[in-house]
Every structure is written in C-alpha cells, then in structure tokens.
C-alpha cells in the first residue's frame, strides 16, 4: 500500500501539500465578484466546474477546451491562484467544514473541536457567491473509495470493509461527509449560497443548469442551454481530455485501476453495500444528521 501521511488542520485531515501552504491559502484575497465552487470530494466538482465554465463562455465549446479543467478552475487548496488569462472568477473546491461566523460562536471550544473555518476569511468578508454541490453519502463513499485506489497522492483505502469504517469516522481528506454537508446546509440562507444536489443535476440537468445560470447573473438562449446540457453529459466529459484527467501522469492517477470518470450514476452504492452495512449506515446517518432538514435522493 501507499505510505501517504495526511496532516490535520483543526481536526480535519488534509493533504500534506495543502497543510504546508496553509497560511498562504488562508491569506487568499477574494474579490467581491468571485464565485466559489465548494464540494465534498467526489460530489461532482468537475461536473459543476465544467457547467460553470460553459455558462461563463456562453456555450462556446472551443473556449472551454482551451485548458484542462484544473487550470480553468484552480483549487485554492493547491495554492495555485488563478492567472489573469483565465476565467474572471476564482473557483474553490472542497473547502469549508463547519463554517463559523461571529454571530454563531461555539458554546464551548473544548466541546466543539469541529468548529473551525477552513475557508480563507476574505470569501466571507466580501460576501462572495458560493455554489455548493452535495451528493448522497453512500455514492460519495463509493466514488471516494475508487478514487483513493487510483490516486497515488491519497492513502490506500484498504478493503471496502475497512474503507467503510474510515469514511464513517471522517478519517479522509476534507474530513467527515456529515459535517461538511451539514455545515454548508446550515449556512445556505445566511450567505449567497446556491445549494445543489448531484442527483438533481443528473435527473434534470437543464433545470439545474438554468438555476446556475441565473445565480451567475447570466441569460442564455434555450438552444445554448440545450448545448450545455449535451456538452456536460457524463459521456461527453468522459471522452474529453480537458475534463477526464487523462493528461494527469499515471504516477499520480492510475486510470487503469479506476477511471476518474468512473460511472457517473446515482445508486452505485447498491453494488457495494451489503445489507448489514446498509442498515448500519442508515442508523449512523440518522444520528449524525438528526435535526437537519436536508433530504437526499438515493436512486433515480
């Protein structure tokens, strides 16, 4: 197995390179018109990134093919600030566990080790727009498991049974799915946050893409929207070298183990969870998500 040692920031495991650059990341200066894409890993980051860029480029496919998606939407946690030649927006992914604002102080710090703010404060200070995509926990777990198998910068996931425990306990990069999703869900009415679900985009892409368009303050023709729906389909993005990570070195991502664009479906968890695991998971889910109004679709 791979010997990757993750590091912790305020109780959340992160990749060593992110932690090493932490002060630089935290001092990132967002501009008021920045749009941030925030997701838990494997929730559909690449998909929403491509959708946002397609909208931004008014459906111009060639403009979206100008660079690989990781360069068009630089990840803040990789400390690669956007270049002037790139899109006018800054995009950030996978940051933001348990967001804390001054109006919501922790009752007791010793009791609340999770309360932290992983996002550079300037995003809140500038009242930036946030686009959050959530994906149901079971499919996220499955996708993350296969991602850790093929991604050599992440720890070996072990067996599926082992990974099941690892994921539930939040001992993965960006921490607990439960805390991440709950944290953003609770923040959504206090800031300019468009909260989307992977399952909704899958079921009715045009409807969700239109929401994103409106949130971005754009107005595109129906034909352009239809084109964006087509160009951001799983099949198209799987064969597109600008989105499918095929340009990433095999020593970082070995797609012969598992494709980055793996299945792109809702409900693949049914091919992985045993009946016993499913019952146990549902029980844990109920406890961890108690009091939250969020509702996930588990199959289409």
Q: φ and ψ at 256, to 5 degrees?
A: -80, -20
264 forms part of the interface with ligand A3P (CB under 6 A)? yes
46 forms part of the interface with ligand A3P (CB under 6 A)? yes
Q: φ and ψ at 157, to 5 degrees?
A: -75, -15
Closer CB to ligand A3P, 75 or 178, in the complex: 75
- Beta strand extents in the chain (DSSP E only): 7-9, 12-14, 35-39, 129-134, 193-197
Binders of ligand A3P among residues 126 to 165 (CB under 6 A) are 139, 143, 146
Closer CB to ligand A3P, 106 or 234, in the complex: 234
The site map against ligand A3P for 189-228 (x = CB under 6 A) is ----------------------------------------
237 forms part of the interface with ligand A3P (CB under 6 A)? yes
Closest CA to 270 of 150, 141, 147: 141
CB 177 within 8 A of CB 40: yes
73 forms part of the interface with ligand A3P (CB under 6 A)? no
Q: φ and ψ at 199, to 5 degrees?
A: -65, -35
Cβ partners under 8 Å of residue 281, min gap 6:
137, 138, 164, 168, 273
262 forms part of the interface with ligand A3P (CB under 6 A)? yes
Question: Smallest distance, Å, CB 49 to ligand A3P?
Answer: 8
Question: Smallest distance, Å, CB 44 to ligand A3P?
Answer: 5
Question: Smallest distance, Å, CB 108 to ligand A3P?
Answer: 34
CB 139 within 8 A of CB 41: no
**Using CB under 6 A as the criterion, which residues of the chain lie in contact with ligand A3P when the complex forms?**
39, 41-47, 139, 143, 146, 232-234, 237, 261-264, 268
């Amino acid at each position: 197995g791979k010997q990757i040692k993750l590091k912790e920031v305020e109780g959340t495991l992160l990749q060593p390179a992110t932690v090493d650059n932490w002060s630089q990341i935290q001092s990132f200066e967002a501009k008021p018109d920045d749009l941030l894409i925030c997701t838990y890993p494997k929730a559909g980051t690449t998909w929403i990134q491509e959708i946002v860029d397609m909208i931004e480029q008014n459906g111009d496919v060639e403009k979206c093919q100008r660079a690989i998606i990781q360069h068009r939407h630089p990840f803040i946690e990789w400390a690669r600030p956007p270049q002037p030649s790139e899109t006018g927006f800054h995009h950030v992914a996978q940051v933001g566990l348990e967001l804390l604002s001054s109006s919501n102080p922790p009752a007791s710090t010793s009791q609340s080790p999770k309360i932290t703010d992983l996002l550079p404060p300037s995003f809140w200070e500038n009242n930036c727009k946030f686009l959050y995509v959530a994906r149901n926990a079971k499919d996220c777990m499955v996708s993350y498991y296969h991602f850790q198998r093929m991604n050599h910068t992440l720890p070996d996931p072990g067996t599926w049974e082992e990974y099941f425990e690892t994921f539930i306990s939040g001992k993965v990069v960006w921490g607990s799915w439960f805390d991440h999703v709950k944290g953003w869900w609770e923040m959504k009415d206090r800031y300019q946050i468009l909260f989307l679900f992977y399952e909704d985009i899958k079921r009715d892409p045009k409807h969700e893409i239109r929401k994103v368009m409106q949130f971005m303050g754009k107005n595109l023709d129906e034909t352009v929207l239809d084109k964006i729906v087509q160009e951001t389909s799983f099949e198209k993005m799987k064969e597109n070298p600008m989105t499918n990570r095929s340009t990433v070195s095999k020593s970082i991502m070995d797609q012969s183990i598992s494709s980055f664009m793996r299945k792109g479906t809702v409900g693949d968890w049914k091919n992985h969870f045993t009946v016993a695991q499913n019952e146990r998971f549902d029980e844990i889910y109920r406890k961890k998500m108690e009091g939250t109004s969020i509702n996930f679709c588990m199959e289409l």
